[in-house]
Amino acid sequence: MGRNGARDNPVRGLRVLFLVRALSVGGAETQLVATAIGLKQRGHDVQIAVFYGVESPLVREAAANGVCVVNLEKRSRWDVVGFMRRLRAAVVQHRADVVYSYLPSANVVSALASSLHKRVGVVWGIRATQVGGASYDWLGQVMAGCERLLARRADAVIVNSARGIEHHARRGLPRDVMRLVRNGVDTGRFRFDADARQRLRSQAGIADIEPLVLVAGRHDPMKGIETFLSACQALPVRAMIIGGWNEPYTSQLRSLAASLGLADRVQWLDQQADMSGWMSAADIVCSASYGEGTSNVLIEAIACNALTVATDVGDSAEIVGDPARMAAARDGEGLVRALRTAIAMLPGWDRHALPPVQLNNYAIETMLAETESVLAAVAAERAGI
């Protein structure tokens, strides 16, 4: 038996339709594409259906690896009936055994659509430990509430952190359908690159002796970037903030940095293809998030042997592995202390050493095998096997 109690050798040839709002920049979307590609390489027939079509590196990555992205052409929030018909047609055309949805809006839609497809299993992907909070609009909060009410319609709910399972059980999601499958990192892609470090720091005008702290991820209030900027004010560091820009919020963040006197010490980049290179260029990778499950950024950073600092949300403490480099969410003073600890470690930190042992918990092959087991068990149960 596997870690979740699923079979170690699931049946092959599953037909899986992933469902997500859009393949825009984000940790969940990145993990979805990696999972879809990995399952295809393991012999399954995989497609990704999106509410809204966008042009993005993730769409191109999926296509380059033979995973078809189907645009359901949702015209607006209120395009419901036609959209559900198009989703049903996509499920039928793909002859899906399982619909695997990611994030609240797609989870709600897959639950509502489940009554139309009695032999199609429904698996949800839940990626965070905080949802529907003040940082989301009214529709986001409604979707989070509907997700809780409709959870029993899912055959299985994949959660990517142990703390996430506890959090969502308290929210009212049924514990018996939740399965722990941690995110996976491709260590062939993410590893320390000394040449990239030198090239990118030179390109950014950052001397090798200057501590560089990297924050990566979409610009979203849940990511705690305001707290990070406030912490930088008290520290002798340069900062690089990389991620999907989100106006007008991005402009508000840049204005905050200027008002804190950080305009010359903080650089901003939109999404970058070479995140392994930038994590090699950084000395410290920081996640100041208010809510995470398993942070892709942190596990990719430790694969590149960067020092990590994080807020204590989701399974970040397990990933970082050092309580002195942890802070409570929204605790600016605590984040300053954690970053100071990391800065003090830099002179003795060997970037060429083996990555820390906690990386073993986040191997991409383990993630794929466990996901495959959950999907296979759901498909078998729906088929009456």
Q: How do residues 251-281 score in pLDDT, each as one tens digit? A: 999 999 999 999 999 999 998 989 999 999 9
At 54, the pLDDT band (50, 70, 90 cuts) reads confident
**Can you give the pLDDT at residue 138?**
61
Q: Is 311 in a helix, a strand, or coil?
A: strand
Residue 211 and residue 284 in one domain: yes
Residue 52 and residue 143 in one domain: yes
CATH number of domain containing 116: 3.40.50.2000
Residue 189 lies in a domain: no
Instruction: State the average pLDDT over residues 354-370.
Output: 90
Residue 344 and residue 328 in one domain: yes
Residue 71 and residue 171 in one domain: yes
Q: Is 204 in a helix, a strand, or coil?
A: helix
Residue 59 and residue 147 in one domain: yes
**Can you give the pLDDT at residue 2?**
44
pLDDT at 6 over 70: no
Residue 257 lies in a domain: yes
Residue 4 lies in a domain: no
Q: How many CA atoms lie within 13 A of 152 on its CB side?
A: 2
At 336, the pLDDT band (50, 70, 90 cuts) reads very high
Residue 99 and residue 205 in one domain: no
Residue 31 and residue 54 in one domain: yes
DSSP strands (E only) in 72-149: 98-102, 121-126
How far is it, in rounded angstroms, from Cα 54 to Cα 74?
Answer: 12
Residue 31 and residue 105 in one domain: yes
Residue 101 and residue 234 in one domain: no
Residue 161: which region, alpha, beta or left (left: phi > 0; alpha: psi -120 to 50)?
A: beta
Residue 62 and residue 209 in one domain: no
Residue 35 lies in a domain: yes
pTM as predicted: 0.84
- ∠325-328-334 over CA atoms, to 5°? 60
Containing structural domain, residue 239? 194-361
pLDDT at 133 over 80: no
How far is it, in rounded angstroms, from Cα 151 to Cα 173?
Answer: 6
pLDDT at 7 over 60: no
Domain total for the chain? 2
Of 95 and 132, the one with more pLDDT: 95
At 358, the pLDDT band (50, 70, 90 cuts) reads confident
Residue 8 lies in a domain: no
Nearest to 22 by CA among 53, 67, 63, 48: 53
Residue 24 and residue 135 in one domain: yes
How far is it, in rounded angstroms, from Cα 297 to Cα 185?
Answer: 10
Query: For 125, phi and psi rounded to 5 degrees?
Result: -115, 120
Residue 241 lies in a domain: yes
In the chain, the percentage of residues whose pLDDT exceeds 70 is: 93
pLDDT at 316 over 50: yes
Residue 108 lies in a domain: yes
**Can you give the pLDDT at residue 147?**
83
Residue 139 and residue 68 in one domain: yes
Contact (Cβ atoms closer than 8 angstroms) between residue 302 and residue 358: yes
Rg (CA), the chain: 21
Residue 141 lies in a domain: yes
Q: Is 326 in a helix, a strand, or coil?
A: strand
Hey, how many other C-beta atoms are within 10 angstroms of the C-beta on 191? Answer: 16
pLDDT at 114 over 70: yes
